[in-house]
Structures are given as structure tokens and as C-alpha cells.
Amino acid sequence: MKLFAISAESSGPFPVPGRDNRNTELTALRIVHCPENKLFCQGVFTRSDGLSVNSPYNKITDEMVKDRPAFISVVSKVSPTLLNPDNAFLCFGADYYQELFKRYGLYRRGLFVDVLPIVRDIRDLQARVNMPSNAAGSKLPTIGEVAEFFGTDVPKMPEDKTDLICNVWAWVANSRGRGGNA
């Protein structure tokens, strides 16, 4: 199985299962081979409805996407890779990605793998080793907490997020799922 790290930014309401997500559009995408962090594809996109892509949650701006196509026009280029059952895409927030890409007809069970629960489970395992009373918590870490654990700033751009995902996966792979020093 090939592993990729994926980071996407969207404009519009946060995509949530069971809601009308038609007003949410993908505005930035970066996919890298994981864990080596080798670029597979990336791009920024305008909204198909012409609305602003500015968001307080990322640094994608209208100036960055000026004269760029909407993601819907390039879906056919990335769909063979995304829908290939031999590929898995590591991300922060698999439900977000599942709903965002479903809007474009890109859906496959297990397409996206959230690394946040993986980090939580390894950190819980480490805590249980250090605290045999089984007093470890099971709170899902935030992206900021994972970044802090790996000694980096909170990622704002797709490049920063895929870097952090690849670091997490290398940490998991090198420790055979038991954690260790980041």
C-alpha cells in the first residue's frame, strides 16, 4: 500500500456529515508521498461561484488564487490516485476530508486515515507504561499539541501540515507504533 500525506484547505462552512455542504469548496491541496515528504501534487484554486477564499483558519488569499481554476475542473486529474484502493491518505481530521471530497464525487471507504487518534493511542500507551495504574487520558490531541510535541509551530499552510503528518508517520514507523522521543 502506498501512503500519502494530504492537506487541503476549504472556503465556506466547515463540511459536516448530514449537512448541506454545497457552499464549501476546496481552495488548496497538497499531496506528498509519506514518510519521505516527496511532492506528488499541489495547487490553489478559486471558488466556482466567485466568492472570496479568505478564511481566518488558513493563509490562502484571493490574491493567491487569482486566475486559477476551481478544483471541480481538475478533479479528473487527481481522482485516479485518490480512488485507487492501494493508496491511503494520512491527514488531520479524516471526517473533514471525507465530507470535503465527497462534494466532488471522490468517495471510498477508508480513503483518509486520521493521524490524531494514532498519536493519542501511542501517547496513552506510553503513559500506561509510566503510570501502571492505567491513569492515562484519552483526549484526542489538537494539531497544535501535535506540533508542539514535535517541536514545530502550529501549521497554517498545506506544506506545513503535510510536513507534520510525515513527521508523525515516520515517528510511528520508526518506533513500530510504540512512540518514543519525537
CA 90, CA 74: separation in Å to the nearest integer?
Answer: 21
Average of per-residue pLDDT across 166-175: 87
Last residue of a domain, one of 89, 114, 139: 114
pLDDT tens digits for range 118-148: 888 877 776 665 555 555 456 788 999 999 9
CATH of the domain at 71: 3.30.420.10
C-alpha cell belonging to residue 87? 493508496
Last residue of a domain, one of 91, 114, 137: 114
Q: What percent of the chain has a predicted confidence (pLDDT) above 70?
A: 83
Average of per-residue pLDDT across 85-96: 93
Q: Domain total for the chain?
A: 2
Largest CA distance in the chain: 59
Range of the domain at 24: 2-114
- Residue 91 · residue 165 · CB < 8 Å: yes
- Residue 26 · residue 60 · CB < 8 Å: no
Whether the pLDDT of residue 182 is over 60: the answer is: no
Which pLDDT score is estimated for 58?
65
DSSP state, 46? B
Instruction: Sheet with 87-91: list strands edge to edge.
Output: 38-44, 25-33, 2-11, 87-91, 112-114
Q: Are residues 96 and 129 in the same domain?
A: no
Q: Are residues 120 and 89 in the same domain?
A: no
Q: Are residues 144 and 109 in the same domain?
A: no
Which pLDDT score is estimated for 118?
87
Orientation angle between helical segments 116-130 and 158-174, nearest 10 degrees: 40
Last residue of a domain, one of 87, 114, 141: 114
**Higher-confidence residue: 70 or 123?**
70
- Residue 15 · residue 21 · CB < 8 Å: yes
- Residue 104 · residue 45 · CB < 8 Å: no
pLDDT tens digits for range 7-46: 988 887 776 777 776 778 888 899 999 989 999 999 888 8
Whether the pLDDT of residue 6 is over 90: the answer is: yes
Q: Tell me whether residue 179 is in a domain.
A: no
